[in-house]
Structure 1
């Protein structure tokens, strides 16, 4: 699936943007060779915990080729994953830096960097079949899901329903600390967490302790943490 995903050119606006950014670059990364392609999920294929973000950052994952790698959002996320025992190191700088996740996979509803970090509804829907496939492959082992931000929450709920999990009516609302147990072919725990964007982390809306608390709760229900 990942091999097919990185060749996708389904969304003309996203293809043009990700490739434009990869050519023009940011001055601080002028000597880097940008990935400039769709970014696949990162982590083991038999993960019991899935973290769902929004989309790759233009000069982060779109540069390095790995989810949440090479930018401050990733610095914040991986430091917290390491702090609770779900990553072997607290930093993520490049695709070959030795980072490994323990029973945890990271993905997103949109796999190409969007202008202004805002994919359209059509782009989200074009990308949905990748998330459908990823959930289907993870279903035998998946026990917990953390969604970073409202966009991911809204994108993921219909995917979970399509994969056989029963979504309560009315649909659960996104919020930091939201927690819903979903039943179906298997039982999973769904958690909401503010996105690790600088808009949230620099303002203190999301603190390391807040993120670590959600990660620890999800890690326990996934059977990864005591």
Structure 2
């Protein structure tokens, strides 16, 4: 099978890229973990037919705003097949998107639940659930081709991106550079509420925002509150022209 880089680079639409991504088996450790998790399951989801494959991005192909996370959760998106769906991180994110008028409903439980995103595409630098939520640097770099391809296909309409967490920030910068935006020197530093503009070689520049990840560790401790998340999404939506 061709490498992720070859398969992503030659995809001429997001639909094609998403379909190719779901068949990726480039990282043996991630393949083994996602499939074992889908086979063993969690007791609460014993009657589910787990997705157990790489999880593609979610949202319209002409999105003006991208939200970039970390990786699918073992019993969240690895179960449901849709980014940030079926876990508590997704509960927080989709409630905020709905409150800001960027999603049709405040909950995301399964594919086919009627959820729509308005001008927003949600993706991640790693598309398979990693053990302990920790992909290795090599797995991150191997998977980057899919994010680069996705961003390249979104370029005609993409005007802003929100990156959730420092890991996502470090992974997204090289992908953004490969997709056609210039990374300033010194490199932008991650922080909650960070905002920088990435010049484009051709076309509009990109507004890049940082936000603490919507992990339970952050939301349960109050490090990230719904108000803080909504404020970043609101600023990003304005920069993207969705306000």
Q: Does 1:55 align with 2:71?
A: yes
Q: How does 1:66-77 map to 2 (within 5 A)?
A: 66-77=82-93
Partners of 1:102 and 1:19 in 2: how far apart? 32
Moved more, 51-60 or 124-133: 124-133
**Where does structure 1 differ by over 3 angstroms across 4 or more consecutive aligned residues?**
none
Alignment correspondent of 1:203 = 221
- How many angstroms does 1:164 deviate by? 2.1
Alignment correspondent of 1:38 = 54
Partners of 2:152 and 2:93 in 1: how far apart? 25
Q: Does 1:165 align with 2:177?
A: no
- How many angstroms does 1:144 deviate by? 0.3
Q: Does 1:26 align with 2:45?
A: no
Of 123, 127, 137, the match for 1:107: 123
Q: Does 1:215 align with 2:233?
A: yes
Deviations 1:172-211 (A, max 9, x none): 1000000001111221100000000000000000000000
What is the RMSD computed on CA atoms of the aligned residues?
0.6
Normalised by the length of structure 2, the TM-score is 0.92
Partners of 1:139 and 1:34 in 2: how far apart? 32
Partners of 1:119 and 1:107 in 2: how far apart? 16
Aligned residue-pair number: 225
Alignment correspondent of 1:127 = 143
Q: Which runs of 5+ in 2 are unaligned?
A: 1-16
Normalised by the length of structure 1, the TM-score is 0.99
- How many angstroms does 1:163 deviate by? 2.0
Moved more, 180-189 or 103-112: 180-189
Alignment correspondent of 2:112 = 96
